[in-house]
Chains A and B, each alone.
Chain A
Amino acid sequence: MRQPRGVAAMPILAVAALAGVAVGVAGYAFEYASGSSYLGNDPATCANCHVMASHYAGWQAAPHHLVATCNDCHTPAGFPAKYIVKATNGYHHSMAFTLGGYPDVIQARPESKRVVEDNCRRCHAALVEDIAHGRDVSCVRCHASVGHLR
């Protein structure tokens, strides 16, 4: 028993249509949420998320804003590491913001603090390598306001 070609292709066409819808909706959501901006370096992107508005404003008022953006402090410098951290942070942030339940005054995870510290030392290596800024002493404990106060 043979079926006509058209009938046999029907389910495949339906799946293809469905896949198209999914890709289309997802693509539109990505575009609507300015998804592509997350791949770049613009600090305004971080303030896409309303939670970050005060941090963004704080950065604009802080001394580092002429020389460093969010990514300069909060992501590692190297190519794969940078995007791995971006992806992990992005995942945590989007889950927290979409599902709720995060504290109003957010605090950095230990991994994130480590990234920031490494970046302080990376840019200021010449200055700090001879100073007794041991690994146990945090730069931002004393220099809290250089990036953003909150």
Chain B
Amino acid sequence: MTAEATPRRNRGLLIALVAGVFALVAIAAAALLVNISERKSEARHAFVKVVDVGENDTDPAKWGKNWPREFDDYKRTAERTATKYGGGAGTAEGEMPPEKADRDPWLKRVFAGYLFAVDYRDRRGHAYMLNDQEVTKRNVPAEGKQSGNCLHCHASITPLYKKLGKEAAPQASEADQLQAGLVKVGEMGYWDAYKQLGELAGQGGKPHPVSCVDCHDPQSMELRVTRPGFIAGIQKLAASKADVPHLPSIERWRKTDRKKAYDPNLDATRQEKRAYVCGQCHVEYFCGKGQTIFFPWAEGLKVEQMEHLYDNTMVKGQRFKDWTHAETGFEVLKAQHPEFEVWSQGIHARSGVTCADCHMPYKREGAQKFSDHWVRSPLLQPNRACASCHPYNDDELKARVIAIQDRHFALLTRAGEANVAMIDAIVAVRKPYDDRAREAAAAKAKETLAKQEAFQKAPKEEQDKKLAAEVKANLLTAWRATVEKTPALKELEELQRAAQWRLDYVAAENSMGFHAPQELGRVLGESIDLARQAQVKATLLGATTSATASAAPAAATPTAKR
């Protein structure tokens, strides 16, 4: 190595180093430039249209080509999420959520004799809505108990409504055809309607759960209402005198000449539609087999307004009931999941905050701002869902909601227990009547079954089962006849019906009280009061009937022996 070479090599190194630094600077500057440019272009172009979508495109994957961000979110509704009170905390991915009765054992007693006592699970994401309808023990294909009405909300069904409506009423307007389609599907069994819809959907004959086309106009992407059940329901609500301060477009429509029915797609504000699209399904409804689904809003959205409507609804000459309670033999109601109605009673609705604001809050990706289509509990992302109005950190926001839910759960549990106590008391009243009627019921059952050839051929075990069922049915018939002509029992029936309706209206609603804490507190308070009234009346009645029963020598009941 010469003395001359060393400085020259050092100089070479220095030059390389300086060149490298400048190269890095240039790279960083270029990268930043590209990043800024991308953001600017994102801000300009909300979406790139790749394919044409139309009314019959129920497959969300096709829409996903144009709106990949929303589609990615939508797909994530298949992920299991859980909050303190919802979604089945503790269940593994892919596993069914737990039975609701695991947490609330009173549900089994309240729903005795109804399919909800058989299988009633905690909620899952939108991706499961169709699947869950099919795996539930309430909808066993061989039994065919459920109707096509279920698909109103569990599937992307409007193409079928339109097709059948067009066939049934070719001359009618599009709106009337939609309603006609609803009637047609309601007349079909669940699995028949499912098959027809699957054929329309193509791709292996499987219908899709709710998808893009159910809430968005494929041309303009504007929000819109597609479900005929909602349209008919909201029109009746608009025509009623019920207070709806949270739906200003209805109040505006009421001031017009009302010649044209309220049209949620033309009259509603953009913000109202952000509640309406959810209200197409997250509501109380009536959908017995062979009947057209309807939303009970003709008198208003409050619990007692819907109850009054049901109490005055006649089905085949009989007052409407959801089922006859197996233990008390009283005719009672079942609430579905009245989120729209309960939201309507809360302060958020009154302030113009709708479902999408909390359950589909705006989010950002780069310079893009869009609605989160991973519809889920706001508690899973309080910053986006709550903090845009309530400027507090995540822990504080969660604590506020959980405090409301804890109080609500405590009250709900008390109401459940009060209702069980009521059922116990009524069962005690019924027992002496059943005991007296048992012999006659058994004799009549044997007589009826003896006439049936199939019964004679059945094995002994099955015969016993059938006989027991027949005796039970005969006892119920005798009891119903007694109830009809005994005002004191009729009064008990009314109390159980009202107490249970209120309890279930609250329990079936998905928010653990949050959607309208005071209103739900009021309703639970009424349920507890009604249940305890029934319990007191039944206990008093039991004392008198057992006194009568002990005087009658034919009755050999434990109370009579005392």
Contacts and interface: CB of A to CB of B under 8 A. Distances in A.
A35 to B, nearest CB: 10
B39 interface: yes
Contact of B364 (A22, A28, A51, A144): A51
Contacts of A33: 32-33, 36
B363 A104 contact: yes
B30 A105 contact: no
Q: Is the interface of A mostly helix, strand, loop or mixed?
A: helix
Q: Which of B23, B36, B362 has the most CB of A within 10 A?
A: B36
B363 A25 contact: no
B431 to A, nearest CB: 60
A123 interface: no
B22 A15 contact: yes
Nearest to B12: A11
Nearest to A31: B33
Interface residues of A, number: 26
Interface in B479-524: none
Nearest to B26: A22
Nearest to B361: A104
A5 interface: no
Contact of B33 (A11, A14, A32): A32
A28 to B, nearest CB: 7
Contacts of A144: 391
Contacts of A97: 39
Q: Is the interface of B mostly helix, strand, loop or mixed?
A: helix
Contacts of A11: 11-12, 15, 19
Contacts of A12: 15
A26 B26 contact: yes
A122 interface: no
Q: Which of A11, A15, A98, A150 has the most CB of B within 10 A?
A: A15
B43 interface: yes
Contact of A98 (B22, B32, B364, B391): B32
A21 interface: yes
A98 B35 contact: yes
Interface size class of B (residues with CB under 8 A): 20 to 34
Interface string B356-387: 00000111101101000000000000011001
Contacts of A103: 383-384, 387
B29 interface: yes
A128 interface: no
Interface string B37-53: 10100010000000000
A107 B22 contact: no
Contacts of B25: 22, 26
A21 B361 CA distance: 44
A19 interface: yes
Contacts of A19: 18, 22
B29 A150 contact: no
Interface in B382-425: 383-384, 387-388, 391, 393
Contacts of B12: 11
B19 A15 contact: yes
Given A11-B12, A11-B15, A25 B35 contact: no
Nearest to B384: A104
B380 to A, nearest CB: 14
Contacts of A146: none
Nearest to A141: B391
A127 B552 CA distance: 90
A91 B524 CA distance: 54
Contacts of B32: 29, 33, 98
A109 interface: no
A21 B18 CA distance: 13
Nearest to A3: B8
A144 B369 CA distance: 24
Contacts of B36: 29, 32-33
B368 to A, nearest CB: 9
B26 A18 contact: yes
Q: Which of A14, A97, A105, A144 has the most CB of B within 10 A?
A: A105
Interface in A90-143: 97-98, 100, 103-105, 107
B266 to A, nearest CB: 29
Given A22-B26, A100-B366, A105-B388, A29 B15 contact: no
Nearest to B382: A105
B420 to A, nearest CB: 44
Contacts of B384: 103-105
Contact of B26 (A15, A25, A51, A150): A25
Interface string A21-60: 1100110110011000000000000000011000000000
Contact of A107 (B19, B35, B37, B391): B391
A140 to B, nearest CB: 9
B378 to A, nearest CB: 13
Contacts of A98: 32, 35
A28 B363 contact: no
B367 A18 contact: no
A104 B43 CA distance: 16
A22 B383 CA distance: 40
B298 to A, nearest CB: 39
A19 B366 CA distance: 31
A15 B391 contact: no
Given A51-B364, A104-B363, A28 B383 contact: no
B389 to A, nearest CB: 9
Interface in B78-97: none
Contacts of B15: 11-12, 14-15
A51 B368 CA distance: 9
B26 A21 contact: yes
Contacts of A104: 361-364, 383-384, 388
B388 A150 contact: yes
Contact of A15 (B4, B18, B37): B18
B364 A18 contact: no
A50 B368 CA distance: 9
Contacts of B4: 1
A26 B39 CA distance: 18
Nearest to A19: B22
10 contacts: A1-B4, A15-B22, A18-B26, A21-B26, A25-B30, A33-B32, A33-B33, A50-B364, A51-B364, A98-B32
**Nearest 5 CB-CB pairings of A with B:** A26-B29, A22-B26, A105-B387, A29-B33, A50-B367
Given A25-B33, A104-B363, 7 more contacts: A15-B22, A25-B30, A28-B33, A29-B29, A33-B33, A103-B387, A104-B383
